[in-house]
Chain A
Amino acid sequence: MTSQIISYCRIKNDGVILNDRPLPYDTSSLKQWYQGLSIHYPKFHKMDRYSQLVFLGVEELWTQIRPAIDFEASISMIFANSNSCIHTDMGFYKTLEKNRPSPSLFVYTLPNIMMGELSIRHQWKGEQFFFILPKFDAIFYYNYTNLQFEIGKKFALVGWVEQTGQQLDLLLYFISNSSVTGPISIAHTIEELNKLYTI
C-alpha cells in the first residue's frame, strides 16, 4: 500500500487554501470563518486563537474526507512547530503583570491542549505527538509518519502549526495508508511535502 495525502489545508496571513482551492475567509476574523462552517460547537469560543486556527483548518480538511473513514479508525496526530504556544504564553504573562492571571489563557499555555481540543472534537484517541523543531522539516514528517504506518496505523493527521506574533504559517494534511481516498491524491513523498509547504 502506498500512502497518499488525501486532503490538506494551508493557512497563512494572506489566506486559506483547501485542497488547491482558496477559501473565502480572512484569517484576521476567525469568528467569520467559524460561522461559514455552519457547525454548532460552543467550546470553540473558549479556545485560544491558536487552537481556534488549528481547529478550523482541521475542520475544513476533515469535512472533505470524514464520510469515507470508519468512526472507529485510529488516527495518529503528528504536529510540530518551532515556538510551541509562545503567543498564548505571552498573553498569559501580560495578565500576570496586571496581577489578574487569566485562567482561560493559562490552560492554553501547553501545545498538547490544542491537540486535546482536536481529540475531544473528533474523539480521536490514537497516538499523538507535538514536536519542537527548528523549522518545517519534510524529511522528519515523512519518516515519522511512515513509522506510524509501519506499526499498523492507517491514517495520520500531520501539521506544521506556527503562530508567532501576528504571523501565521500552518500546513495541515491528512494521509491515508489504506484504500480510502479523498478529494485529492498526492503521493506522500518528501518532494510533495516541500511543494505543499511552499504553497
Chain B
Amino acid sequence: MSVFITGLGVTSALGCSYEENLAQLKLGNSGLKEHVLHDSSCIMGCVPKSNLEIVGAFNLSNQAYSRSFLLGLCAAYQARTSVSSKLPSRMGLIVGITVGGMDLTEASYQQYIENKEKLDWLRLRQHPSGMVATQLAQFLEDIKFTNTISTACSSGANAIMHGAKLIEKGKFDCMLVGGVDALTQFTIKGFQSLMLYDKQACKPFDEARNGLNLGEGSAFLLLESERSQRATGNKILAKLVGWANTNDAYHATAPSPVGEGATRAMSAALKMAGIAPEAIGYINAHGTGTLNNDLSESRALLDVFSHQVPPFSSTKSFTGHTLGAAGAIEAAFCVMALQQQQCWANLNFTQPITDTKLTPISILKDAQKLNFVLSNSFGFGGNNTSLVMSL
C-alpha cells in the first residue's frame, strides 16, 4: 500500500512558492530577521507577503481574514493547482494548526480596548482552530470532508499522518494535508515567558544554542492512493511509506531527557516503512534550538541509528519554528530533498553538543543516492511524530 505525494505548496519566511523556498534552501539564506509584532521586537520568520497582497492575489472579498487562513490559502492553492490533471471529485482536507485565527482576535481586541469600537463578530468568528479548514474548503473545489488537528508542534505532521491513514483505509483516494500557523503575541510572549525564545537567530544542535525563534507559514501536500494516481497520471514527487506517533508520558512541555518517545516514533516509522535505519539518507530533525529538545533528540538519534547517524539538519534555522505548520513545511522540504538529491543545511552551527557530539550538515550537501528521508516533529504534551518518505 503506497501513499503518493503528487502535489506540493509551501509558504514560509523563505518565500511564497515551491521555487522560492527551494532557491533559498539551496543558497543557504535564512528567512529569520528582526521584526516588530505589536509592542515587541524580536527575531522571527515572517512570510514576505502582506495580508493585503494575498487578498489581492486571490481576489478575495473586502473583509478581514485571519493571517492563518491567508497563509494556508497560498500553500493549499499551490498544492491543489500544482497538478495539471483533474483530481477525484471527492477530496478530504486535514489542517494541522495551533493558533487558529488568533492574530485577528488580538488585533480586534486591541482596537476594541483603544477605540471602543464595536466588536466585529465576523472577525471573532475566525478565532477557532477549525475555522481555517472550513474557509479553505469554501475556497477550494471538491473538498467533501475537513478535519483539524491541534497537537502543538506536531500538528502538521499528524495532519499528514491522518490523511495517509484515511487513504490507506480506502476512505478517500485523494487528500490535501498540511499545516499552518501565523505569528501571534500569544505564542511569542508565551515562549518568551518560558525562557525558550532566543534573542538571536536560533542555533539548532549547537552547544551554545539558547532557544527557538518563531516563524509563520504553511505547507500542504496532495496525497493520492495508487488507484487515484493511476487514473490521474500525476507525477509522483515522493511516496509516504512510514509514519508513527508516540507519547512520552514524561513532562508537560519538556521532552523525555533520553528521548524515549522520539526513539519509539522513529523506530516505529522505520518499521512500517520496512527499512533498516541505515537506509535513511537524510533526517530533517525537529531541532528547535532549545536546550531540552536538541539534547533529547540527539540521544534518540544515537539510539535509533546506533551511532551511525545519517546526515541531518534542522531547517528551523531558515524558517523559525512555525508550530502547527512546522511538520508540514519540513515534510515539504524532505520531498524537495528527494527531488533534488540534496540535504539542506543546518545554519548557525559551530560546535557540537558536548554530551552527544553529533554534527549536523552545516552547508548544503549533495547526496550520493537519496532514497529514504525521515522527518521528525515533536510537540508539547510529549507528542512525537516521525514520517518516512521515499523516492
Contact = CB atoms under 8 A, between A and B. Distances in A.
Q: Is B a genuine binding partner of A?
A: yes
Interface of A: 92-93, 96, 101-103, 106-110, 112-113, 115-117, 119-120, 122-126, 128, 132
Contacts of B195: 103
Contact of B252 (A101, A120, A132): A120
**Closest A-B pairs by Cβ, 3 of them:** A106-B190, A116-B381, A112-B381
B289 interface: no
B359 to A, nearest CB: 32
Given A96-B185, A119-B249, A123-B249, A109 B382 contact: no
B190 A116 contact: no
Contacts of A124: 247, 249
A96 B186 contact: yes
A47 B219 CA distance: 34
B49 interface: no
B252 A117 contact: yes
Given A96-B185, A96-B186, A128 B247 contact: yes
Contacts of A108: 252
A102 B383 contact: no
20 contacts: A92-B186, A93-B186, A96-B186, A96-B189, A103-B194, A106-B189, A108-B252, A110-B98, A112-B381, A116-B247, A116-B249, A116-B251, A116-B380, A116-B381, A119-B248, A120-B251, A120-B252, A125-B246, A125-B247, A126-B247
Interface range on chain B: under 10, 10 to 19, 20 to 34, or 35 or more?
Answer: 20 to 34
A49 to B, nearest CB: 15
Contact of A112 (B194, B251, B383): B383
B313 interface: no
B151 interface: yes
Interface of B: 98, 128-130, 150-152, 185-186, 189-195, 246-253, 261, 379-383
Contacts, number: 76
Given A110-B98, A110-B150, A110-B152, A115 B193 contact: no
A101 B189 CA distance: 6
Given A107-B252, A116-B382, A120-B250, A101 B130 contact: no
A150 B191 CA distance: 40
Contacts of A107: 194, 252-253, 380
A110 B380 contact: yes
Contacts of A109: 186, 190
B380 A113 contact: yes
Given A108-B252, A113-B380, A126-B247, 16 more contacts: A92-B186, A96-B185, A96-B189, A103-B190, A103-B194, A106-B190, A106-B191, A112-B152, A113-B253, A116-B247, A119-B248, A120-B250, A120-B252, A122-B249, A124-B247, A128-B247
Nearest to B109: A93
A188 B382 CA distance: 31
Contacts of A128: 247
B151 A106 contact: no
Contacts of B150: 110, 112
Contacts of A92: 186, 190
Given A93-B186, A123-B249, A128-B247, A115 B381 contact: yes
Residue with the highest number of chain B CB atoms closer than 10 Å, among A92, A124, A125 = A125
Contact of A132 (B130, B189, B253, B381): B130
Given A112-B151, A116-B382, A119-B247, A106 B252 contact: no
A106 B194 CA distance: 8
Nearest to B253: A107
A131 to B, nearest CB: 10
Contacts of A126: 247
A124 B249 CA distance: 7
B127 to A, nearest CB: 10
Contacts of A101: 189-190, 192-193
B152 A125 contact: no
B252 A113 contact: yes
A119 B382 contact: yes
Contacts of B247: 116, 119, 124-126, 128
Contacts of A123: 249
Contacts of B189: 96, 101, 106
